[in-house]
Structure 1
Amino acid sequence: MTTGTILVVEDEEKLRHLLKRIIVLEGFAVHECSSMKTARRILETTPVDVILSDVMLPDGNGIDLVSHVQERGLQAATILLTAYGNIPDSVRAIKQGAFDYITKGNDNARIIPLLYRALEKVALQRRVLQLEARVGNRYAAFNDILGAAAGIREAKQLAAQAAPSGIPVLLLGETGTGKEMFAQAIHHASTRSEKEFIAINCSAIGKDILESELFGYKAGAFTGASRNKRGLMEEADQGTLFLDEIGEMPLDLQAKLLRVLETSSFIKVGDTRETKVDIRIIAATNRDLVKEIAAGRFREDLYYRLNVFAITLPALRERKEDIPLFAAYFMHLFAGKSGRQVNSMNSEFITQLTMHDWRGNIRELKNVIERAVIVASGTELTPDTLPLDIRLHRSPVHQPGAFDLATMEKQHIQWVVRYAAGNKSKAARLLNIGLSTLYRKMEEYSLSF
């Protein structure tokens, strides 16, 4: 098993072959050449981790190779070899960005340890770049929100106007319309973008756990509270807290949230002192909060605090001109993930999509396209890759549990396992879950193949 790729640049053939043998015995992959020109060509086409180069080459100086690596932004470390032990050249090489230098014949014992150290440095540099890229792109931006329909353009314009202000935003719309993506984009475009964006679904957990998660608790507040816990309010300090399904929040927690909005403070579970925070609240719901207020399930005063800037996201059936755009995006996404060579959709396939009601909105369309990519037998998506209810223009909205998350998950697992011809390991890989998780899900949904 190789542990890295090394390029040896040395015009003395015997020495080059000797270096190669030594390095290969350590398990490294080795490329070799005798000139600057060839080295540059290799670097343009082959990923290399460490370059071990002579300083004096027939067509140039090894120090210039260091500059070449720097200018191209290549993530590779350069170690220079010299027969002269020339101190000025060595100092110049380090200043240019070389990792280190060794003297031919005198430092042979240093070569392998030096290679490992250079590899560690390169691995760290690459990791840093990956993390920087992830941090820079971890939140959706307005440009990431697809669609050209009037309703979505208006929603994006309103969100962009609200983003810099820091005021609370209330996102309204059916399930699956992209409310969390809008919340991320607002955060990304705000003055808080360098701080945390934390999301929690208020309907996914029980009241007591939700309170502890949001506000934290002091040690001894209840049985099992052995140490202090910071809540999401504190974790989001200076940043944004996104409260999804705010309409499901219990009334007594609504009162604590109202206090945060009014005073920027709250009291942890089991504490007597206030905790101050500076957070922006973005909330979302698929409920009609005015009706919830009338029914006594939502506080009117909280509604008015949240409803400072409300944005309604249109349902997918109200922006059908965007369906082909979403379908193409998801097709390429899932084809890439699954390694399938699917790259087009025929006109009848698109027609079938636009005729469907999409009660599950973008989330439903995403699942349908993922299924279509998996069952497609060629490079093109055709109507026979669609579920029967879509092909028959029959909306499943009146079928009990049709868009219940568990029902959709069960159906999706069935589709994938059938596609994998009953091979559970392959199905687990396609689903991007562990094999044990797949078996547990199959048992949970009483599935057998």
Structure 2
Amino acid sequence: MTGPFRLLIIDDEPQLRNMLRRVFEGEGYAVTTAETGAIGLLRMKETPFPVVLCDVKLPDANGVELTSALRSIAPSAEVIVMTAFGSIPDAVQAMRNGAFQYLVKGDDNAKLLPTVSAALQQANSRDIVPLEVSSDPFAGVIGRSSAIQQTIALARKVAPTEATVLLTGTTGVGKEVFANAIHAASARAGHVMLAVNCSALSGELLESELFGHVAGAFTGAGKDKKGLIEAAKGGTLFLDEIGEMPLALQAKILRVLETGDYIRVGDTVPRKADVRFLAATHRDLAFDSTNGRFREDLYYRLAAFVIRIPGLAERPTDIELLAKFFLQRFATKLRKPITGIDSATLELLSAHAWPGQVRELRNVIERACILCDAPLLDAPSLPLELQRPRSNSSTSPVYDLEHVEREHIRRVLQHTGGNKTLAAALLGIGITTLYAKLKKWEG
């Protein structure tokens, strides 16, 4: 070490956080810590860090998803995800979201220092600067189709107001992207926007996360804790998948929306909320409100301003634009000299149904960027289910599917450093199937 390199550690376990601080300060690092994802993001926005150590399970965020948020602030930063559970699915998702490495707490202690050192070298090979903020808050919503432009126009109108907005649409269409844009275009843009996925926590944990609690409110509540409503003071709180919120908690959220008052768990003193609510769901809340699954009064409160985000089937002309946007982002992040997408691959992308919507397209392009060795993104870099050309197109190229599959698996194995278990997970096949294919091709 030749200087005080900066390291951000995000972990909700005080003992582990302090231990990691001591270890890295002993190696000459300037260490900053955060106990929640929200605080970690604030620290990153204040001054971007070249390397972040992030727990995969945080009280207010999924560390895997937090990887994307951290790198959206500082694209050149490297994020190392830590977990107490060495599960391959988490490893795969962390890699897809741009994590530099995946470490199992306790098992990988010997790898900790060299991994952080390697991440630091990688990060220092590029400038660590935040993304330039566009003057247009909706610049991150990509698309020229009339369907998406009409949706953007509606969001622009409601953004400067204090109205609660309900964003609806199929999973993956980009509801959180719109929520961020609405916040950025509002008078609250100078304050934080926090988000919580209502389907990710039990009712009791979600209530504590939203409203906070006082010491002794329940077993393990050793001290007072602010909730997200209080932490987002002056800003915006995004309730993702609000349709999954338990009915009892829906009543308490309705009270906040109607009176502006909330009470911490275990307390009796009302507090004033200063926060704008945005909510999102993939469910049909109008239907759910008629069968008792969702409170009718809360639905009507939310339905005062609804924005439905169109799926890719309603804006197929945006697929090419989105693909090129994601290609530019990931080629830059991965330092790959890929300058475009060849015409045959664009045709395959346009022909796909995209049931996972924009999120699926983003993941496909990121994975293709990792695997592609050509100057133009090519068909063998795509997942196998996308590599079959449309049968009704006489101009589509004819592929030897076994050759394409073999090349695709070769690239994935190269990417995982020969780790067949991880490669099988990335490919979406069983390890036995992978071994059988490799044995067949070797013979």
TM-score tier (shorter): 0.5 to 0.7
Deviations 1:322-375 (A, max 9, x none): 111111111122222222211111111111111111010011001111122222
Q: Is the 8 A contact 2:370 2:415 kept in 1?
A: no
1:368 aligned residue: 364
Distance 2:3 2:269 in 1: 55
2:333 aligned residue: 337
2:238 matches 1:206: no
Which one of the candidate residues 241, 246, 249 is aligned to 2:245?
A: 249
Q: Is the 8 A contact 1:247 1:289 kept in 2?
A: yes
Distance 1:196 1:354, change over 3 A: same
Q: Is the 8 A contact 1:331 1:369 kept in 2?
A: yes
1:190 aligned residue: 186
1:273 aligned residue: 269
Distance 1:421 1:272, change over 3 A: closer
Distance 1:415 1:334, change over 3 A: farther
Q: Is the 8 A contact 2:371 2:412 kept in 1?
A: no
1:381 aligned residue: 377
1:328 aligned residue: 324
Q: Is the 8 A contact 1:140 1:181 kept in 2?
A: no
Q: Is the 8 A contact 1:139 1:188 kept in 2?
A: no
Distance 1:238 1:189 in 2: 14
Which one of the candidate residues 378, 387, 392 is aligned to 1:391?
A: 387
The structure that is helix-richer by fraction is 1
Deviations 1:3-60 (A, max 9, x none): 59xxxxxxxxxxxxxxxxxxxxxxxxxxxxxxxxxxxxxxxxxxxxxxxxxxxxxxxx
Which one of the candidate residues 413, 418, 430 is aligned to 1:418?
A: 413
Distance 1:237 1:150 in 2: 36
Deviations 1:226-245 (A, max 9, x none): 11010001111221100000
2:233 matches 1:237: yes
Q: Is the 8 A contact 1:374 1:419 kept in 2?
A: no
Q: Is the 8 A contact 1:140 1:184 kept in 2?
A: no
Report the TM-score, using the length of structure 2 for normalisation.
0.61
Distance 2:358 2:376 in 1: 21
Distance 2:128 2:162 in 1: 30
2:174 aligned residue: 178
Q: Is the 8 A contact 1:266 1:276 kept in 2?
A: yes
One-letter amino acid of the structure 2 residue matched with residue 230 of structure 1: K
Distance 1:3 1:211, change over 3 A: closer
1:226 aligned residue: 222
Distance 2:370 2:345 in 1: 15
Q: Is the 8 A contact 2:261 2:271 kept in 1?
A: yes
One-letter amino acid of the structure 2 residue matched with residue 153 of structure 1: Q
Distance 2:159 2:378 in 1: 41
Report the number of matched residues: 292
Which one of the candidate residues 301, 318, 322 is aligned to 1:305?
A: 301
**Cα offset, 1:376, TM superposition:** 1.8
Distance 1:371 1:419, change over 3 A: farther
Deviations 1:117-175 (A, max 9, x none): xxxxxxxxxxxx989x57x8499921221100111101100000001111000101111
2:143 aligned residue: 147
Distance 1:249 1:360 in 2: 23
Q: Secondary structure at the match of 2:155?
A: helix
Q: Which runs of 5+ in 1 are unaligned?
A: 5-128, 395-413, 428-437
Distance 2:379 2:430 in 1: 29
Which one of the candidate residues 338, 342, 345 is aligned to 1:346?
A: 342
Q: Is the 8 A contact 1:371 1:415 kept in 2?
A: no
Q: Is the 8 A contact 1:316 1:358 kept in 2?
A: yes
Report the TM-score, using the length of structure 1 for normalisation.
0.60
Distance 1:325 1:225 in 2: 49
**Cα offset, 1:446, TM superposition:** 8.0
1:216 aligned residue: 212
Q: Is the 8 A contact 1:203 1:248 kept in 2?
A: yes
Q: Which runs of 5+ in 2 are unaligned?
A: 5-126, 391-408, 436-443
**Cα offset, 1:392, TM superposition:** 2.6
Distance 2:134 2:194 in 1: 12
Distance 1:196 1:2, change over 3 A: closer
Distance 1:230 1:269, change over 3 A: same
**Cα offset, 1:447, TM superposition:** 5.7
Q: Is the 8 A contact 1:141 1:189 kept in 2?
A: yes
What is the root-mean-square deviation in Å for CA atoms of aligned residues? 3.1
**Cα offset, 1:220, TM superposition:** 0.6
Distance 2:254 2:431 in 1: 45
Deviations 1:290-338 (A, max 9, x none): 1211221101100111111111110012111111111111112222222
Q: Is the 8 A contact 2:260 2:274 kept in 1?
A: yes
**Cα offset, 1:261, TM superposition:** 0.2
Distance 1:156 1:303 in 2: 23
Distance 2:320 2:231 in 1: 39
2:44 aligned residue: none
One-letter amino acid of the structure 2 residue matched with residue 275 of structure 1: R
Distance 1:266 1:372 in 2: 47
